[in-house]
Amino acid sequence: MAKPPLIAIIAPGEMGAGVARRLTERGARVITTLAGRSAASAQRAANAGMTDAAEGDLAAADMILSIVPPGQALALAQQLAAVLAAATTKPLYVDCNAVAPATVLAIAAVIEAAGARFADAGIIGNPPHSSGYTPVIYASGAHAAAFAALNDHGLDIRAMDGPVGQASALKMCYAGLTKGLHAVGVSVMLGAIEAGIAEPFFAEMAASQPQLLAYFTGRTPGIFPKAYRWVAEMEEIGAFLGGGGQQIYDGAARQFDRLASDHAGAQIDEAAIRAFLGRAAQPD
């Protein structure tokens, strides 16, 4: 019987813990490091079947999956470089973060300089769920197929026939459309509320754009606790697109930064947007 793979996942956030739970349920062993993490992170890790390990022991894994906020991706690679360089047997390092191709190439350079293999990955969707839902993970680079071996443990990894940077480019385009649409949506909703025309604006959306209104009604309430993560992601998308695209997504980053600050504070904007969208649930 083949030995189950040992996978290190950094860190046990919602996505990292969701991926870990799926892997452990399908026979893999998963480790993480909880040094400096919150009690909530430790609980998520425990619930997902992850085992705490010292940072120096992470290189013993077959693969290291980096699943952190985009602004932390390069710093994590730099932090682990010394551990990887000292390891006799090198793991496959997979960057699964929403970063621009230029950023992922910089991360790859750090990891490869430490003597480890590297794969670029982009996650499309929400964390794996007990219902059976699984996000799609696109992977590129020479070692994408090795990463795709985790399909045998419940993931849906699709290896692309292209170099490092392609998976991240696909993620940038997809997130630019979906999360960029949220930035537009909350901006115009707040504009309508501040101008005192929320009711007629909602009525017009319901009459002429029912599908778009349904999209915002169903999804916008879930973005508030995530907005802090999307600030750096919008900046990465802007850097990827350049030109006018960069101006658009720099603005989106500022909007998500405003939402993140509001969510952590008085939640004034959040309450106003929830009330606006709540009209959809009100009887005629």
Average pLDDT, the chain: 96
The model's pLDDT over 137-192, given as tens digits with 9 standing for 90+, comes to 999 999 999 999 999 999 999 999 999 999 999 999 999 999 999 999 999 999 99
Per-residue confidence (pLDDT) for residue 282, from 0 to 100: 58
Per-residue confidence (pLDDT) for residue 279, from 0 to 100: 86
The model's pLDDT over 82-124, given as tens digits with 9 standing for 90+, comes to 999 999 999 999 999 999 999 999 999 999 999 999 999 999 9
Domains of the chain, residue spans = 6-162, 169-281
* Model confidence at 280: pLDDT above 90: no
Per-residue confidence (pLDDT) for residue 36, from 0 to 100: 87
* Model confidence at 284: pLDDT above 70: no
Residue with tokens 């960029």: 180
Per DSSP, helices labelled H in 68-138 are 73-86, 101-113
Mean pLDDT (whole number) for 18-36: 96
The CATH number of the structural domain formed by 6-162 is 3.40.50.720
Report residue 136: phi and psi, to 5°. -90, 135
Q: Interhelix angle for 101-113 vs 227-241, to 10°? A: 100
Mean pLDDT (whole number) for 3-30: 96
Mean pLDDT (whole number) for 11-37: 96
Report residue 128: phi and psi, to 5°. -55, 145
The model's pLDDT over 179-209, given as tens digits with 9 standing for 90+, comes to 999 999 999 999 999 999 999 999 999 999 9
Are the beta carbons of 179 and 252 closer than 8 angstroms?
yes
How many residues are present in the chain? 284
- Predicted model pTM: 0.93
